Amino acid sequence: MVLGQTLAQIKMKAVIILSAGHGKRMKSVLSKVLHKVAGKPMLQWVLDAVKILNADQVITVTSPELESHEILKDTDVVVQAVPLGTGDALKLGVQKLKSNIDKVFLLCADTPLLDPKDIKKLEHSKADLTVIGMQLNDLSKSYGRIECNSECHPVAIRETKHNEKVKNISLGNAGVYAFRVEMLKELLPHLKINTESGEIYATDLVELAITKSYKTELVIADEENFLGVNTLVELSQAEKIMQHRIKTRHMLNGVQFMLPETSYVNYDAEIGAGTIIEQGVHIGENVHIAKNAKILGFSYLSNCTIENAASIGPFAHLRGNVVVEEHASIGNFVEVKGSTISKNAKAKHLSYIGDATVGEGANIGAGTITCNYNGFEKFKTHIGKNVMIGANSTLVAPVMISDGAYIAAGSVITEDVGPNNLAISRTQQQEKNAWALSFRAKYSKKLS
C-alpha cells in the first residue's frame, strides 16, 4: 500500500470471463469451452492469457454443469442458469465484484488464440470503455462491426445478423473490452432485451456510453487472435493455427520438422535444439525431448522423456512414464509403456516392452514381449546391462534377466536368469524325413 492511501483508495482490477453458453452448434456432449486446442481446454487458454494482467479477481460466468469443475478452482464462479446473452452474463459477473475493483476486463472463453499482449494493451487505456477491434479482410464474416466517429473512437457496435448494411464496415468487434466499474454500474440497468433474439447484448454498452458522455477508445489487433469457436469446423481451424504457432516457436529454437503440417505437437512439449521430427509424428501431453534426438515418421509419444541423441521410430508408440536414455534406440512397431530404456540399449523391431527396465547396452530382439499383466495385477521385468534377448522371446513377469545374459530365440522365460548365462526354454526340435513329399502328394491328389 502506498503511504497515505486508504483501502478504499486503492484501485483494483478484475477479469470476467463468459463461459455459460451451451455450445449447441458443437454437436458434442462435452461443454464447448472444455474442447481442447493443442491439448489444452479453450477456457484454460483464456485463463492463462489473462494472467498477464495480474488481476485482483477473476470471475467466470458459467453454466450449472461447469460450476464445480476443477478448471474453475482458482476463480470466483457465477452461474448463469439460463443463457440470456452477454449483457445478462456481465450483469451477473459485476454483482460478484469485490468492493475496491475499479476496472473490469471482459473476455469470452471460446477464444483460445488470444495473445496476452493484446490484452495488455487494454490495461494502458485511460478511457471509460475500451474495445478491441480488428481489420477484416473478408466482409462476409459474422463478426459485429464497430462504428467510430471522426476521431476513431467507437460510438456503437452493430450485429450483422440484425443489420446486413453494417457488413460494409471493415472494423470487426473482437469481443474483448475494458470498462470502468463506475460506468458499468450506471449503464448495465439500461441494457434492453433484443426483440429478435430475446437476449441482452454487452455490445450495446458502447452506444449507451456515448449517450452518457463517457469516453471510449479503440485498440487494433490481429483478427486471427480472436477466432471464436462455435463449431467443430472452427475448432479445427483454431487447432491448425495453434499448431503452426507451436511448431514455428520450436523451429526458431532449433528443432527441425521435416513436414510440419503433418505432425501434432501438444502445447506443453519440450523439444531440444538439433532434434529432427519426421512426418506424421504425434507428440502428446507431457513429452520432454532433449537435444539431437530423432523422432522418425508416424511415431506416437505421450508422457515420456527422450534424452540426448536417442532415436525413436518409425511407427513407435511410447506412453505412460517412459524414459529413453542417451543414444538408446526404439525402432519400428515397438510399443513401450511405463519403462526405462537405458543408454545405448536397443529395441529395433516389433516388440512390446511394458513395466520394464532395460539395462545399458541391452539388445531386445524382434518380436520380444514382456508379459506384465495377469488380468489383475501388473508385474515388473528387469533386464540387465548388455543382455541379448533373442527374437520372439516371451518374458513372463515378474522376472529378472541379469547382466550379460543371453536368451535364446523363441524362449518363454518364467524364471530369473543369472549373469552371463544362456537361457533356453523351448521344445526340442524334431525332423521327420521326407514328410513334406508325402504331405504335398496327399493334397495334390485331394485337389485333382
Give the separation between CA 379 and CA 382, rounded to whole angstroms. Answer: 10
Torsion, CA 245, CA 251, CA 255, CA 256, rounded to 10: 110
Residues 6+ apart with CB under 8 A from 398: 379, 380, 381
Measured distance CA(34)–CA(42) in Å, rounded: 6
How long is the chain? 448
CB 34 within 8 Å of CB 41: yes
Phi, psi of 400 (to 5 degrees): -125, 125
**250 among known catalytic residues:** no
Say if residues 360 and 378 touch (Cβ distance below 8 Å): no
**Cα separations in angstroms, 70 against 4, 95, 102, 299, 362:** 40, 23, 28, 32, 44
Q: Which member of 153, 282, 288, 349 is catalytic?
A: 349
Q: Give the DSSP H or E segment for 107.
A: strand 101-108
Phi and psi torsions of 337, nearest 5° = -135, 130
DSSP 321-384: SEEE-TT-EEEET-EEES-EE-TT-EEEES-EEESEEE-TT-EE-TT-EEE-B-SS-B--EEE-
How many C-alpha atoms does 266 have within 13 Å on its Cβ side? 20
CA 135, distance to chain mean position in Å, is 28
How many other CB atoms are found less than 10 A from the CB of residue 284? 18
Integer angstrom CA distances of residue 379 from 338, 346, 425: 11, 22, 21
Cell of 270: 519440450
Q: Which three cell numbers stand for residue 228?
A: 471464436
**Over the Cα atoms of the chain, what is R_g?**
31
| Residue given cell 528443432 in the structure block | 255
Catalytic site positions: 349
